[in-house]
Amino acid sequence: MGRYIDIGKAFENALFSGDVEGLRNVLHHDMTYEMSGQPPIGGRFEGRERVIESFEKREVGLGPGFEYQELAREWYEDEAHGKVFVEIHERSWLPDHPEDVLEVRTCSVLTIKDEQIVSIIDYTDSEAYAAFKSRHEAEIPKFARR
Instruction: Quickly count: other Cβ atoms within 10 Å of residue 119's Cβ.
Output: 17
**Above 70 in pLDDT, residue 41?**
yes
**Above 70 in pLDDT, residue 145?**
no
Q: Which domains does the chain have, with CATH numbers?
A: 3-144 (3.10.450.50)
Question: Per residue in 69-106, pLDDT tens?
Answer: 999 999 999 999 999 999 999 999 999 999 999 999 99
Q: Please, what sign has the CA dihedral across residues 31, 18, 3, 109? A: negative
The CA distance from 81 to 96, in Å, is: 44
The CA distance from 48 to 118, in Å, is: 9
The whole model's pTM is what? 0.92
Percent of the chain with pLDDT strictly greater than 70: 98
> What's the pLDDT at 1?
67
Q: Is 15 exposed, middle or buried (0-12, 13-18, 19+ CB in 10 A)?
A: middle
**Cα–Cα distances in angstroms (integers) from residue 131 to residues 68, 98, 102, in the given order:** 18, 16, 9
